[in-house]
Structure 1
Amino acid sequence: MNRPLRLATVAFTASAALLLTSCGSGDDESKDNDKIAGAGQGAEKSSSPSASEATDVERPEIKLPSDLKYKFEWTKTGDKSKDAVLSDTEQYVKAIDMAIAEQDALHKSYRFYSEGEAAAGSQKFITEFVEYKDRITGTKRFYNAKVNVTGGKQASLVYCEDQGKAFNKNLKTGKTDVTSPSKDDLVIYSSQLRLNKQGVWITEQTTSDRGSAAYQS
């Protein structure tokens, strides 16, 4: 039976037609990066936002398989709040993948960075991997992030993901399900976040749209 999964950070209802052009400009850049993705193993760029400055908060430690890499092409905006939104979203993305790798649909790591609909959607998504005894391997690329902060405590974030070099790996057999390049490799996300009392940006809602023709060059 074919797995009903094509990798995503969170698998929610596709929507947000107004976002369709956001990933298109990344296609050429993606092709250039593909040339070095294997050699660089998806290391994060040095310009990627640093961890949130809420240093008094005890954050969950993120431990991921050595064969799962990331390329967060999110440069610092120069705005402290916006950079913190990007940083905490990075941790949320990785926390979901750690929950998948550890086969724990109720893992405390992703629940630290999400609540409400986002947490429920992440749980459902992780559960599918647990049922198939799969995890994610390869390199995941994130780019074209657009952040807006309102009143210092509410934020919206739109960003793109290229999953062309990320695949499902079965934990029982060790076999990686390598798929051919597809328009479905590109996903756009739109998230709503809020700043909690601990100073952590919590993702509350996320929608995704996969493989739209508007992404293709």
Structure 2
Amino acid sequence: MVSVAAVLSLSACGGGEDEDSGGGDKIAGADTGKKSPSPSASESADPGRPKIELPSDITYKFEWKKTGDPEKDAVLRDAEQRIKAVSMAIAEQDPLHEAYRFYSEGGAAAGSEKFIQSFVDHEARIAGVARYFREMVTVKDDGTASLVYCEDQSKGFNKYIKTGKTDDVTVSKDSYVNYASVLRKGTNGVWVTQSLQSQRGSERCQP
């Protein structure tokens, strides 16, 4: 039997294992960990934006730097909120959670749904620390943007809802994942992720 650790690759923190191709938690009696507002809850609580709340044992370290360009900084902000929204959907065991769907559509949304469902099927969620770094953002004149970034999963792990047990973490080159996404600016001003692809073990993201 394949271990759950192999099935659940933790890249849900980044949004999914190649969401473009489809390729923890609020349940009664479950050991979910106390929820606390995310550090950027004030941003996510803007009119129309879903409020992001996560278990207290999930920590995000976004090392994305402010660019000084309003559009680029908005792309980074909304991509950050999408990442957290996917983790919230996993934590609440809801593959159709409105929060991640607010920040994604098309292939990205379909991939997130499938990935979240894999955690639901195994009654597991994400815990630990996820670090994001080495970002590159480009905004185009046609209302789209591209964002490439790395995720360090070496301090993240799967946590099983009913038992509270966690998977052992084995750090390797595959603990570092490169993501490439395409976003579109909606009429409400939110940058929505349309597609997201990942490369586990990418040389670009190695420490």
TM-score in terms of structure 2 length? 0.83
Task: Mark the CA change 1:51 to 1:61 in structure 2 (over 3 Å): closer, same or farther.
Answer: closer
1:111 match:
101
Question: Which of these residues, 110, 114, 117, is aligned with residue 120 of structure 1?
Answer: 110
Q: Distance in 1 between matches of 2:19 and 2:83?
A: 18
From 180, 186, 198, the equivalent of 1:190 is: 180
Is this contact kept in 1: 2:19–2:107, CA < 8 A?
A: no
8 Å contact kept, 2:183–2:193: yes
User: How do 1:23-172 and structure 2 match up within 5 A?
Assistant: 51=43, 55=46, 57-151=47-141, 153-172=143-162
Could you say which residue in structure 2 is the equivalent of 1:7?
10
How far residue 212 of structure 1 moved from its aligned partner, in angstroms, is: 3.1
Shift >6 Å, 4+ stretches: none
Gaps in structure 2 of 5+ consecutive residues: 22-37
Question: C-alpha displacement at 1:5, in angstroms?
Answer: 1.7
Cα separation, 2, equivalents of 1:93 and 1:14: 15
CA separation in 2, counterparts of 1:209 and 1:190?
9
Q: 1:139 to 1:148 in 2, by over 3 A?
A: same
The Cα of 1:99 is off from its aligned counterpart by 0.1
The percentage of aligned residue pairs carrying the same residue is 55
> What is the DSSP-based 3-state SS (H/G/I as helix, E as strand, rest coil) of the residue aligned with 1:176?
coil
Q: Which has the higher mean CA deviation after the structures are superposed, 151-160 or 118-127?
A: 151-160
CA distance in 2, matches of 1:12, 1:216: 19
- One-letter amino acid matched to 2:48: E
- Distance of aligned partners of 1:213 and 1:195 in 2 relative to their CA distance in 1, 3 Å threshold: closer
Deviations 1:58-90 (A, max 9, x none): 110001000000000011000000000000000
Kindly provide the amino acid, as one letter, of the partner of residue 170 in structure 2: S
Please provide the CA RMSD for this pair: 2.3
Aligned length: 184
